[in-house]
Amino acid sequence: MKSIFNYYKSIFLALRSLWQGMKLTGYYFSHPKKMLVQPYPENRDTLVIPSRFKGNLTLIHDAENLHACTACGICEINCPNGTIKILSKMEEQEDGKKKKVLDKWVYHMGLCTFCGLCVDACPSDAIAFDNTFEHSAYKSTTLNKVLNNPGSKLKSTVK
Ligand code: SF4
Ligand code: SF4
In a domain, 40, yes or no: no
| Total-model pTM | 0.77
Please give the pLDDT value at position 36: 74
Q: What is residue 33's predicted lDDT score, i.e. its pLDDT?
A: 79
- pLDDT tens digits, residue range 30-59? 988 787 777 888 988 888 888 889 999 999
d(CA 71, CA 87): 7
How many structural domains is the chain composed of? 2
Residue 8 lies in domain: 1-34
Closest residue by Cα to atom 6, ligand 2, is: 69
**CA 46 – ligand 2 centroid, Å:** 34
Q: Are residues 20 and 56 in the same domain?
A: no
Considering the domain architecture, whether residues 81 and 114 belong to the same structural domain is answered as yes
User: Are residue 78 and residue 5 in the same domain, yes or no?
Assistant: no
Domain contains 99: yes
Ligand 2: does its nearest atom lie under 6 Å from the Cβ of 69? yes
User: Strands, E, within the chain: which ranges?
Assistant: 56-59, 66-67, 84-92, 98-108, 127-130, 144-146, 153-154
Using one digit for the tens of pLDDT, what is the confidence trace for 51-103?
A: 889 999 999 999 999 999 999 999 999 999 999 999 999 998 888 889 999 99
